[in-house]
Amino acid sequence: MGKYIAGRIGYMIITFLVIATFTFLLMQTLPGSPFNDEKLSQTQKEALYEKYGLDKPVALRYVKYMANILKGDLGESFQFEGRPVTKVISERIGASAVLGGQAIILGTVVGLLLGMFAALKQNSALDYSSMIISVLGVSIPSFVFAGLLQYWVGVRLQWLPIAFWDGFASSILPTISMAVGVIATMARFMRTEMIEILSQDYIVMAKARGLSGTAVLFRHGLRNALIPIVTLLGPMTINLMTGTLIIEQIFSIPGLGEQFTRSIMTNDYPMIMGTTLFYAALFIGIVFVVDLLYGVIDPRIRLTGGKQ
């Protein structure tokens, strides 16, 4: 197990450095300049280029950037002069993490319960209703739900705030907007897995041994159904974090997604690269945790010698 973890950490570092390289090179192909203000004179622009090292050759800037990354330094933001990118990210990640965390918890719990009961009541009204919800949740983008919730719940009923970040109440509508897609996906997968598992021989044997329906469902059915569901959780969590790019704009929430969008519009290269690398590191870490969870959920899976 220790050898496997050490090997995976090595692969994770290599993957991160490859992503950092591609991100840096892609930034060099962007059109325009981060200093497009017409009020700046040519001399002032040249001074800014020299200050941030943009007048140096690409190869030299790449070596310096990668060396700084290894030291945990993502550079200084052009937009917020003199402020480190890591500090801006740390200040912005709070709202994004709250929204993403609430959405993944709400979506996973509701989706699993909906899919499980749909499988138990196959071809019933509950089953058909859950499938309709799944289709709608997958087909309709989250920003459409965001607009509908703002209008009906915020404007018409005036139950909750429709914008800005002011405590838990202001996080409810954006959380629901993001969780709808998770509920739909989880319910669909859970229903399919549970229907297949409940027809297996070991489930029939468990019932024949006199186990109650609840014990069979949770001890044997739910545990095996969770294995493919866990696979979905990693990419889904990242999708939620990146999905905040639009939701935070709609609800005027000062999160990392809103900052990332603003950085793209202002050609703030260090901020764009820093945010991208942050999301990449998050994705790599979640995939690693998901792989480890396989062995916890299903004892038949053993991680030894770098092979699963």
Separation CA 110–CA 115 (nearest Å): 9
The neighbouring-strand residues paired with 17 are none
- Residues found in the chain: 308
Q: Residue 280 in contact with residue 16, Cβ under 8 Å?
A: yes
The neighbouring-strand residues paired with 76 are 84
Q: What would the two tokens of residue 224 be? A: 């095996």
Q: How far is residue 307 CA from its own chain's centroid?
A: 27
Predicted confidence at residue 306, as pLDDT, reads 44
Predicted confidence at residue 307, as pLDDT, reads 45
Q: Single out the residue of 77, 137, 48 nearest to residue 268, CA to CA.
A: 77
What percentage of the chain's residues is helix, strand, coil (to nearest 5)? Answer: 75, 0, 25
pTM of the model: 0.78
Q: Residue 99 in contact with residue 239, Cβ under 8 Å?
A: no
Predicted confidence at residue 298, as pLDDT, reads 64
Which pairs from 150-158 meet CB under 8 Å and 24+ separation?
150/250, 150/251
Low-confidence ranges of the chain (pLDDT < 50): 305-308
Predicted confidence at residue 308, as pLDDT, reads 43
pLDDT tens by residue, 152-163: 999 999 999 988
- H-state helical runs in 121-221: 125-139, 142-149, 169-198, 201-208, 213-215
Q: Residue 206 in contact with residue 218, Cβ under 8 Å?
A: no
Proportion of the chain above pLDDT 70, given as a percent: 93
Predicted confidence at residue 289, as pLDDT, reads 84
Separation CA 53–CA 65 (nearest Å): 10
Q: What would the two tokens of residue 216 be? A: 């069979």
The C-alpha angle 15, 80, 257, rounded to 5 degrees, equals: 50
Q: Single out the residue of 27, 85, 89, 15 nearest to residue 61, CA to CA.
A: 27
pLDDT tens by residue, 27-86: 888 777 777 766 777 788 788 788 888 888 889 999 999 999 888 888 888 888 778 999
Proportion of the chain above pLDDT 90, given as a percent: 15
Q: Single out the residue of 234, 251, 281, 259 nearest to residue 93, CA to CA.
A: 259
Q: Single out the residue of 20, 163, 181 nearest to residue 100, CA to CA.
A: 181
Q: Interhelix angle for 85-120 vs 222-250, to 10°?
A: 130
